[in-house]
Amino acid sequence: MAYISRRGLIQGAGALGAAGLAGPAFAQSAMNWKKFAGQKIEVTLVKSPRADIIEKGLPEFKALTGLEVGFEQIPEQQARQKQVIELTSGKPSFDVIHESFHVQKRLFEKSGWVADLSGLMADASITGPETVESDFSSAGLMFSKNQQGKLRALPQSVDYWIVYYNKELFDKKGVKYPDTFEEMIAAAEKLTDPKEGVYGFVARGLKNANLPVFTSFLLGFGVDPVDAKGNLMTDTPEAIEAGKIYQRLLSKHAPPGAIGFNWSECQSAFMQGKVAMWLDGIGFAPPLEDPNKSRIVGKVGYGLMPKGPKTRASATFGDGLSIPSASTKKEAAWLFAQWAVSKEQGRALITTGSGVPFRHSVLNDPSIRTQLKMPAAWLDTVAESAKISRLGLPVIIPVTEFRDTIGIGLTNTLSGGDVAAELKKASDAFRPVLEKSEKG
């Protein structure tokens, strides 16, 4: 875990939005995009706006390379399950896959399922001059490299957690956007008006999905869920305080039933104008500004995560593309992965609000502001969140088990369980699993 440091993440975030010169050298390229024309590769991605952007660009890619692409998007849970089963079998049916760094990084590294891309990147006949490590933010590189410094994925998109807020509801009650956790709780309390069906706060209560909500608060106490030495920190005094904030906001100031909400229920409630604040990933923004879906177009504020007792931190997650070790068409697959994280693709990603690329050459390009289809405040919050970015989930193998076990404890606090007791119970249950998995 230690090899992903907080400092690296901040440095990697770059100065988004500031005018600056991107650095790729435009050397004479020996690259031949058409080298594998006529071959066919299979691409299996997780269903997401990021994958939609890639899908839209496919004809362009086919024209560029002459490659045939079998492309599909599968919902996250199914995709992860399919990936593991097929990769275990040693004969996966895909040549390019989506990797959620915050869930699969350690598993993919340890199992040896995905190929080392360093050699491919060094091969000038299949790598363009702009695809250089230095154009990727260090956060992206940390996500995609293993402990030995081998590149095992190309980072595609980063996700920061922010607070969406309903400016109209805030104005009506004369409440200002909170700057600290205490102010956030006070604001949530003030804005809650069950008679009107209006609630101050909403976030995921559903087990597993709810963990980033909890870590968003925990990080404000300056504590990571698993510390640099690999100790589980989810029953520390700070964790209990964070848990109490979580319990209070979701049981006192959130709509009834929030205990079972995932992001989608939160989003529906927020889009209907019934909720004043919603804490979730920045990638959920586009529907909020779509009049066919939202009643609060133009009224959405994009707030930076309030400051905790120790620090201000935005829980951060990342996604990338990997190539299975067992693929027989790694070079053609490399062409695809390279194109999918290219500048043009990155620009399409950020200007539509679908995601935030890891590339300096995109983030530093002033033209993305003029092409932006989202409110400027959204982009500002992206830039500000980048500066306080901190990993939202520990980089361990049993991430899902971690999210489930601790998440169940958190959910139990919403139906009246004692925070300290629930977190202790959950942490005690997870600790042996963690020790066992990190030992090997």
- Kindly identify the residues of this chain, within the stretch 102-141, that bind other proteins according to CB under 8 A: 107-108, 110-113
The residue from 197, 237, 309, 366 that contacts other proteins (CB under 8 A) is: 197
Residue 5 is encoded by which pair of tokens? 């440091």
421: amino acid identity, one letter: A
207 vs 360 by CB, closer to other proteins: 207
72 vs 344 by CB, closer to other proteins: 72
Number of C-beta neighbours around residue 370 at 10 A: 7
Nearest approach, Cβ of residue 104 and other proteins (Å): 10
Rounded to 5°, the CA angle 30-32-35 comes to: 140
- How many residues of this chain interact with other proteins, rule: CB under 8 A? 73
Nearest to 39 by CA among 339, 338, 321, 332: 332
The DSSP H or E segment spanning 157 is strand 154-166
283 scored as a contact of other proteins (CB under 8 A): yes
Nearest approach, Cβ of residue 124 and other proteins (Å): 33
**Cβ neighbours of residue 38 closer than 8 Å, sequence gap 6 or more:** 66, 67, 68
Tokens 């601790």 correspond to what residue? 406
Residue 258 is encoded by which pair of tokens? 């929030």
224 vs 289 by CB, closer to other proteins: 289
From first CA to last CA, the distance across the chain in angstroms is: 15
Nearest approach, Cβ of residue 161 and other proteins (Å): 15
Q: Are strands 300-303 and 154-166 parallel, antiparallel or unpaired?
A: antiparallel
Nearest approach, Cβ of residue 80 and other proteins (Å): 8
Q: Which of residues 341-370 bind other proteins (CB under 8 A)?
A: 354
The residue from 398, 406, 423, 430 that contacts other proteins (CB under 8 A) is: 398
CA distance 431 to 261: 27
Nearest approach, Cβ of residue 122 and other proteins (Å): 27
Nearest approach, Cβ of residue 333 and other proteins (Å): 16
418 scored as a contact of other proteins (CB under 8 A): no
The residue from 115, 117, 259, 423 that contacts other proteins (CB under 8 A) is: 259
> Which stretches within 273-398 are classed as H helix?
330-340, 343-351, 360-363, 367-371, 376-387
The residue from 8, 222, 400, 420 that contacts other proteins (CB under 8 A) is: 400
404 scored as a contact of other proteins (CB under 8 A): yes
CA distance 373 to 289: 10
287 scored as a contact of other proteins (CB under 8 A): yes
193 scored as a contact of other proteins (CB under 8 A): no
431 scored as a contact of other proteins (CB under 8 A): no
Residue 69 is encoded by which pair of tokens? 């692409």
Q: Which of residues 66-95 bind other proteins (CB under 8 A)?
A: 70, 72-78, 80-82, 84-89, 91, 93
Residue 253 is encoded by which pair of tokens? 């100031």
